[in-house]
């Protein structure tokens, strides 16, 4: 019995090791540093957008927009995902919330001048950039920033 348990334990350790090695080899971009709520990207400095250059967000609706640029496998980005999903649902019709995975398409990161992920860009309804934040950004802090920028979004009323 002890021998069977020991064999099963060794098999589990071997499988975990193989999966870990395989994931490390396929991760590529995920191995890039993700520390203190931000992940660095491998964009050469010469391809970064100069400061002061305004990039307009693609505007489908005349709404202010919150654009989050990150990656599906970046830990701080994963922490942002449920917050963004909730804001997208809660403020539908008031705020356009969009997420773009810059590890899937690195040209998007270059287009927006992204240095670290996650990066949140706040746009007015005309597509003018109002504010940019790098790293994890809590829901309350984002709503406070929108308020500071002159946008107060109404929370839906819950009837009990």
Residues marked as catalytic: 74, 77
List C-alpha distances in Å: 119 to 38, 66, 80, 88, 96.
Answer: 9, 10, 10, 17, 16
Asked if 55 and 112 touch (Cβ cutoff 8 Å), the reply is yes
Edge-to-edge order in the sheet of strand 129-134: 96-101, 65-70, 119-123, 129-134
Edge-to-edge order in the sheet of strand 38-40: 34-35, 38-40, 116-117
């Amino acid at each position: 019995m002890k021998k069977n348990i020991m064999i099963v334990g060794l098999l589990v350790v071997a499988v975990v090791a193989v999966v870990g090695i395989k994931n490390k080899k396929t991760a590529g971009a995920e191995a890039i540093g993700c520390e203190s709520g931000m992940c660095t990207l491998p964009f050469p400095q010469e391809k970064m957008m100069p400061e002061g250059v305004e990039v307009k967000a693609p505007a489908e609706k005349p709404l202010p927009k919150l654009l989050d640029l990150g990656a599906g496998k970046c830990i701080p980005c994963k922490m942002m995902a449920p917050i963004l999903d909730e804001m997208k649902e809660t403020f539908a019709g008031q705020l356009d919330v969009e997420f773009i995975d810059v590890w899937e398409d690195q040209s998007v990161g270059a287009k927006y001048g992204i240095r670290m992920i996650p990066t949140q860009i706040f746009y007015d309804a005309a597509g003018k950039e109002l504010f940019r934040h790098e790293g994890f950004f809590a829901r309350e802090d984002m709503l406070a920033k929108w308020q500071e920028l002159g946008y107060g979004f109404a929370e839906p009323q819950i009837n009990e």
